[in-house]
Amino acid sequence: MKELIVRALSGILYVSLFVLALYSQHALIALFFIFGIVSLAEFNKLIQLKGIISFVIFSVLYIVFAYWQLIMDHNEVFEAAIQILHVLTIFVQLFLIRDLFSEKTWPLLLTKRYINTTFYLSSAFVFIILIANYYEAFNPNILLGAFILVWVNDSFAYLVGKNFGKQKLFPSISPKKTVEGFLGGLFFSCVSSYFIAEYTHTLSFTSWLVLSIIISVFGTIGDLIESKYKRQAGVKDSGVIMPGHGGLLDRLDSIIFAAPFIYLFLRILKYVS
């Protein structure tokens, strides 16, 4: 009972900080900078990467792209820089998906560790902020909707999997995940997309429905990727900063991996509309 209360309180604190930060662009940028530093520290521990270079890279990337929007209008230079970062990020993520099916221990080389900390983790926080600026003006409702879909997917994947799960999804990496749980999370995310479309007044229901599928699929992949890192490190959680939940990376792994794909869909939507 005590563990359940501690878990609930730490979860409420995490959600409260996020929701409160949505009222101010400066607060949101500052909060996710802190989240990024903590997540990077936890990730570096998993892959045994020491030193401050990865933190410097994260800080430069995040400050340049996040605060650029506050002091400058969107222009060709900004758009070109974002596109380059976007392509590199998705390219690295596709390799991470491929490596899920490999028995190799990764990352082995120091260079690959820095590539992953930069384009798997650090750049993801840039795209989280960019999602909140989809209209080239601060409008955090799309980001809020994306997080709600992540929470719905995770919660119902757990509930459905625990009660009805039989077919293992990826037993070599995460023995507790089931196909039934994944489908349950996907179904309830799709249902939730209707209410998000109705109450956020941002995108159409069809767009939110597509986003719910993107978030369920790539969020689940992100969770599996972090699980493989933890399995190789021989740990259950990425950290202990959230009592009852583990590390902050454990809470953000889904949105971290899904964010570049969410932003890709929003860019496509913008160009075809």
- Say if CB 57 and CB 122 are below 8 A apart: yes
Based on its alpha-carbon atoms, the radius of gyration of the chain, rounded to whole angstroms, reads 18
Range of the domain at 28: 2-272
Question: Using CA atoms, how far apart are residues 93 and 222, in angstroms rounded to an integer?
Answer: 9
Most confident of 30-39, 77-86, 110-119, 169-178: 30-39
The two structure tokens encoding residue 163? 């009660």
SS3 call for 154: helix
Q: 243 preceded by cis ω (within 30°)?
A: no
Q: What's the average model confidence in pLDDT over 77-90?
A: 91
| Model confidence band, residue 13 (pLDDT cutoffs 50, 70, 90) | confident
Question: Using CA atoms, how far apart are residues 19 and 21, in angstroms rounded to an integer?
Answer: 5
118-138 burial string, b = 16+ CB within 10 Å, else e?
bbbbbbbbbbbbbbbbbeeeb
The closest of 235, 238, 240, 185 to 7, measured between CA atoms, is 240
Percent of the chain, pLDDT > 70? 90
Render pLDDT for 188-206 as a digit per residue (tens, 0 to 9): 999 999 999 999 888 999 9
pLDDT of residue 225: 93
Q: What's the average model confidence in pLDDT over 59-67?
A: 88
Question: Using CA atoms, how far apart are residues 175 and 114, in angstroms rounded to an integer?
Answer: 29
Q: Cα dist. 140→133, 149, 157, 246 in Å?
A: 7, 14, 26, 27
Domain count, the chain: 1
pLDDT of residue 221: 96
The two structure tokens encoding residue 148? 């709600």
- Say if CB 248 and CB 71 are below 8 A apart: no
pLDDT exceeds 90 at position 207: yes
Render pLDDT for 93-145 as a digit per residue (tens, 0 to 9): 999 999 888 776 655 678 889 999 999 999 999 999 999 888 767 888 999 99
pLDDT of residue 40: 96
